[in-house]
Amino acid sequence: EEQLLESGGGLVQPGGSLRLSCAASGFLFGNNAMSWVRQAPGKGLEWVSTITGSADQKYYADSVEGRFTISRDNSRNTLYLQINSPRAEDTAVYYCAKDGYSSGWPVFDFWGQGTLVTVSS
């Protein structure tokens, strides 16, 4: 059974730093691209970042480019999101999602339950 378990959320001060983790199990982690998606309180979904299975390509939303870094450790089946210089508008539930395929078409086919990041002094 596929499982994604996020951790590392919490309260962080503006200008501080935080690292989120997503532990994966139940599928061949290194064969799949992985993504982070966030949702601010009462707002919609926002795609944040994607990393390929081999980590050779990384993609970021304009809103986080230069401040967030996505990475992965395929030996530990774990995805990471390093959040530097957070702002109040980064306050959100952060979901990790598995980039899969349905009949050959790219989808986010499995999601974790999310971890809340609150940016406040």
Partner 1 sequence: DIELTQSPSSLSASVGERVTITCRSSQTISTYLNWYQQKPGKAPKLLIYASRGLQSGVPRRFSGSGSGTDFTLTISGLQPEDFATYYCQQSYNPYRAFGQGTKVEIK
Contacting residues toward partner 1, per CB under 8 A: 35, 37, 44-47, 50, 57, 59, 61-62, 95, 102-103, 105-109, 111-114
Kindly state the smallest distance separating residue 116's Cβ from partner 1, in Å. 11
DSSP state letter for 8: -
Which lies closer to partner 1 via its Cβ, residue 17 or residue 31?
31
Determine the residue type at 79: L
Kindly state the smallest distance separating residue 16's Cβ from partner 1, in Å. 26
Q: State the Cα–Cα distance between residues 20 and 6, nearest whole angstrom.
A: 7
Which lies closer to partner 1 via its Cβ, residue 86 or residue 112?
112
Nearest Cα to 115, choosing from 77, 73, 79?
79
